[in-house]
Amino acid sequence: MTDRDQGTYPPTEKMLAQPVPDDVAKGQEERLRKVWAQPPGWRYWSAVNNTEVGVWYCLTATFFMLLAGILALLMRVQLAVPENDFLDADRYNQFFTMHGSAMMFLFAVPIFEAISILILPSLLGARDMPFPRLSAYGFWCFVIGGIFVMGSILFDAAPNAGWFMYPPLSTEHGGIGTDIWLLGLSFIEVASIAAAVELIVGVLKCRPPGMRVNIMPLYAWYVLVVGGMIVFAFPPLIAGDFLLEMQRSFDWPFFDPERGGDPMLWQHLFWIFGHPEVYIIFLPSIAVTAMIIPTAARRPIVGYSWIVLSAVGTGFLSFGLWVHHMFATGLPSISLGFFSAASEAVVLPTGIQIFAFVATLMVGRVRMIHPMLWIAGALAIFVAGGLTGVMVAIVPFDWQVHDTYFIVAHLHYTVFGGMLFPVIGGIYYFYPVIAKKQLSERLGRWAFWLAFTGFNVTFLPMHLTGMRGMPRRVFTYPGDLGWNWLNMISTIGAFVMATGLLIFVYDLLRPKGKQPDPPRNPWDAGTLEWTHNVPAESWGIRSIPYVNTRYPLWQQPKMQQRIDAGRYYLPDAQEGKRETLVTSVIDAHPLHVQRVTGPAWITIWAAVFTGGAFIFPTFHWYPPAIVSAVLAVACVIYWNWTSTAEIPEAETKDAGLGLRLPLYVSGPDAVGWWAVWITMLADATAFSSLVFSVFFYWTASTQFPPQGAGFANPVLMAIGTGLVVASWALTAWARRDAGRGAMAALAVAMLAACAGGGVLILALWLPDMDPTAHVYPAMMWALVVWVIVHLIAGVVLQGYCLAGLAFGKITRRYDAPLWNSLLFWHFLCLTVLVTGAMVAIAPRLMT
């Protein structure tokens, strides 16, 4: 027990065996139903429940997948015969660019987040995610960004430089396609990071009491690893986007060799994101597999620890692979050797989990439930893709097939086997939880066999097409190279596969009103999501159970009945507030009751204005972009002020089973603090990418900084840095004091931060460092601009805390916003110190 919560924990069997009187249970159910009810009518769209937002998210991602699939079919039509003129070269370029970009950014990553938002709370026996409005905000950002990026194709203005956007093609190319890609997808990446933060905090802090790390569902382990990977993999791309967009908009020559820039930097930043990305989409699907296999085998998974090892090991190793996309760029052969070695090493953890699955199936009593068909197909396809992966990880072989259809075949074998098929299997599996209906097994079999056959007919011949030398991304080819029949077969296969996938989508969307309710646990699974209510209830789970086994429905036989009776935690909503339980990170000890936010329009407005801030600059309309950004910040402030860290009506509340828990916590106990911590890790990673860029330019060229170049004014840099550090110190003091003195300290801190920012700008301005002249001043400015943007955010946070103290939203007892703001400032302080060193000191040493 901690010193704040009071009562008995863990609950005794005697307490759990005590029945709940019927009338009490009925009253509780009514109150819960009312609190968690969906807004009616058109207000439905203001819902923020994970069950609503998750479904919208999944359907939107599926919609983008279908669009990207249509692009692929059109490309296959173009390639069916040689010298075809069905599509012209430019349109073909737009199509393959958008096919890749949409499949990756608008389908593969979002569908992981969508499915996780949808099912993770029920896997963990939680009422909802910890920050429902954040999920809703992320979803609306995704919709707006997705439509913007995808819609460009209708105006013949889509990006056409490939999904990797390599300069100089992307910098020299006219038109706004590249800007749409950079700004639209950066916007979506921000939403992805928001979802990742939410999912990580959900896994760490919202598990049911008793669910220690060694018994949490494997899905949760994978979500944790993948969330962590997103936090470290997406920021380098955001940093790269920032640099590339600065070049396109303001002619800062980051990738222009004539002024000291280097296109290779983009390739590094892109693939530091791009390779982990492959595992970011692969691991969640393996996670789904890890949930289905024990159910099909009717026994617990074999080698739980081995699978955790696989997930964590793959997560780490995947960051050492990025250069294997750059084997043909002329890097020193020893560098290639390192990455080749790591690419072979990652096979170990990847293979181990597959052996664990096979072992589970071997020792279990397998029942071929329909989702298993997709999983079996997935394993077959993925193993083939993995084996060609082992081949292309070897440098000399890669040189032979680089940029040929062999690679197209390889990557599609990995993404279909490692992502699409398991996801579809997972949708069949979880559909009863999600929709309280079942998908048709007959249609499912048709869909599977058509998709599986079509897939192999399409992509198996491509290995040969590639070996025969057909390059990727060509819109047509001459008829005398021996590629004709291979391409024709691939095109036929593509349509067969599309038919299968369409049958699946039809089955997914067709009305099922007349279908009777499915059994509650149709596959006889053992995990918590199958305690769901049929027909649906919007409360998530009736009461939050005490879990001490890996497969509670198999191993704790009375659990279902006790959940339904409201025997466990939080069976009621006396105060009429949405609540879920927050537990400790390692042992899931109950810590406090978290009030979660309800339906709101403000999240949609916040998303709309955030969209404006990203989309207007595409057209170089900067004033409306700035207005949008200000309004977006205003919306987020309003949303936080009105619905987060509210001062509760009582110190503690009865959480059920005789346990009283606090209603308000701050600092490391609070989920908000964890979210800030994780977000700032992502932010620090983006900043590190900029620092990496400085060193990259230094190693890649003897002209960084160029001879005779000026340096930032060291005195001003020192003063500016010092002012920001002082602002940080005052903020830290304000957190300790949290009273009248804190208000004065915060006011001075805001002034110091503003002054510090101004002085930092002067430090570059006065020596006349022109960012368009050479990449060295541009890089120095990029670092300072980064700091300035963060200083603005830091000052807003200080102002928020100042207002909170002034209006009684923050007090010594209720001080969560102060803790969270200070955490932001810790990172900001570090950022400005590093920037000071990089701008004022490092260049002097580099010459």
Give just the sign of the alpha carbon dihedral 226, 231, 235, 238.
positive
Measured between alpha carbons, how far is 134 from 149 in angstroms, rounded to an integer?
22
- Please tell me the count of residues contacting other proteins according to CB under 8 A: 60
Sole binder of other proteins in the list 31, 91, 212, 468 (CB under 8 A):
212
**642 makes contact with other proteins (CB under 8 A):** no
Least distance to other proteins from the beta carbon of 692, Å? 10
Measured between alpha carbons, how far is 401 from 411 in angstroms, rounded to an integer?
13
Nearer to other proteins, 196 or 272 (CB): 272
Sole binder of other proteins in the list 440, 515, 548, 560 (CB under 8 A):
548
In a 10 Å sphere around its CB, with 0-12 CB exposed, 13-18 middle and 19+ buried, how is residue 528 labelled? buried
Phi, psi of 594 (to 5 degrees): -100, 125
Sole binder of other proteins in the list 85, 174, 334, 511 (CB under 8 A):
334
Measured between alpha carbons, how far is 580 from 594 in angstroms, rounded to an integer?
5
**304 makes contact with other proteins (CB under 8 A):** yes
- Who's near 147: CB < 8 A, 6+ residues apart? none
Measured between alpha carbons, how far is 654 from 634 in angstroms, rounded to an integer?
36
Name the token pair of 326: 């750059």
Nearer to other proteins, 554 or 605 (CB): 554
Q: Which stretch binds other proteins (CB under 8 A): 109-117, 210-218, 383-391, 517-525?
A: 210-218
Sole binder of other proteins in the list 45, 86, 166, 319 (CB under 8 A):
319
Least distance to other proteins from the beta carbon of 590, Å? 9
Residue that has been written with the tokens 């004709």 in this structure: 484
Least distance to other proteins from the beta carbon of 826, Å? 15
Q: Residue 378: which H helix or E strand, with range?
A: helix 370-392
**525 makes contact with other proteins (CB under 8 A):** no
Q: Residue 654: which H helix or E strand, with range?
A: strand 652-654
**337 makes contact with other proteins (CB under 8 A):** yes
Are 602 and 638 in contact by the 8 Å Cβ rule? The answer is: yes
**733 makes contact with other proteins (CB under 8 A):** no
Given phi > 0 = left and psi -120 to 50 = alpha, else beta, which region is 588? left
In a 10 Å sphere around its CB, with 0-12 CB exposed, 13-18 middle and 19+ buried, how is residue 419 labelled? buried
Sole binder of other proteins in the list 70, 586, 647, 789 (CB under 8 A):
586
Least distance to other proteins from the beta carbon of 823, Å? 14
**201 makes contact with other proteins (CB under 8 A):** no
Nearer to other proteins, 603 or 666 (CB): 666
Least distance to other proteins from the beta carbon of 814, Å? 8
DSSP 320: G
Sole binder of other proteins in the list 217, 349, 386, 500 (CB under 8 A):
349
Measured between alpha carbons, how far is 789 from 796 in angstroms, rounded to an integer?
11
Least distance to other proteins from the beta carbon of 109, Å? 23
Question: Rounded to an integer, what is the distance from CA 845 to the centroid of its chain?
Answer: 39
Least distance to other proteins from the beta carbon of 41, Å? 41
**298 makes contact with other proteins (CB under 8 A):** no
Q: How far is CA 195 from CA 137, 168, 188, 189, 594, in A?
A: 9, 33, 11, 10, 19
Measured between alpha carbons, how far is 174 from 756 in angstroms, rounded to an integer?
39
Sole binder of other proteins in the list 17, 59, 341, 387 (CB under 8 A):
341
Nearer to other proteins, 127 or 550 (CB): 550
Sole binder of other proteins in the list 58, 72, 296, 317 (CB under 8 A):
317
**300 makes contact with other proteins (CB under 8 A):** yes
Neighbouring C-beta atoms of residue 467, cutoff 10 Å: 14
In a 10 Å sphere around its CB, with 0-12 CB exposed, 13-18 middle and 19+ buried, how is residue 632 labelled? buried
Nearer to other proteins, 400 or 555 (CB): 555
**2 makes contact with other proteins (CB under 8 A):** yes
**650 makes contact with other proteins (CB under 8 A):** no
Least distance to other proteins from the beta carbon of 599, Å? 29
**262 makes contact with other proteins (CB under 8 A):** no
Q: Are strands 590-595 and 6-7 parallel, antiparallel or unpaired?
A: unpaired
**528 makes contact with other proteins (CB under 8 A):** no
**549 makes contact with other proteins (CB under 8 A):** yes
Q: Residue 590: which H helix or E strand, with range?
A: strand 590-595
Measured between alpha carbons, how far is 223 from 468 in angstroms, rounded to an integer?
40
Q: Which amino acid is at 40?
A: P
- Letters for 83-102 (x = contact with other proteins by CB under 8 A, - = none) are --------------------
Sole binder of other proteins in the list 131, 242, 254, 664 (CB under 8 A):
664
SS3 string of 73-134?
Answer: HHHHHHHHCCCCCCCCHHHHHHHHHHHHHHHHHHHHHHHHHHHHHHHHHHHCCCCCCCCHHH
Query: If we measure between CA atoms, which residue out of 573, 510, 516 comes closest to residue 540?
Result: 573
Least distance to other proteins from the beta carbon of 703, Å? 12
Sole binder of other proteins in the list 335, 574, 642, 847 (CB under 8 A):
335
Return the residues of window 588-627 that contact other proteins according to CB under 8 A: 589, 591
Least distance to other proteins from the beta carbon of 112, Å? 22
**214 makes contact with other proteins (CB under 8 A):** yes
Sole binder of other proteins in the list 25, 308, 604, 749 (CB under 8 A):
308
Q: How far is CA 248 from CA 251, 277, 752, in A?
A: 6, 25, 33
Nearer to other proteins, 170 or 310 (CB): 310
Sole binder of other proteins in the list 66, 312, 366, 755 (CB under 8 A):
312
Least distance to other proteins from the beta carbon of 700, Å? 7
Measured between alpha carbons, how far is 203 from 404 in angstroms, rounded to an integer?
41
**306 makes contact with other proteins (CB under 8 A):** yes
Sole binder of other proteins in the list 345, 354, 788, 833 (CB under 8 A):
345
**389 makes contact with other proteins (CB under 8 A):** no
Least distance to other proteins from the beta carbon of 381, Å? 25
Binding site for other proteins (CB under 8 A): 2-4, 210-215, 300, 304-306, 308-309, 312-313, 316-317, 319-320, 323, 331-342, 344-345, 348-349, 547-550, 584-587, 589, 591, 662, 664-669, 699-700, 813-815
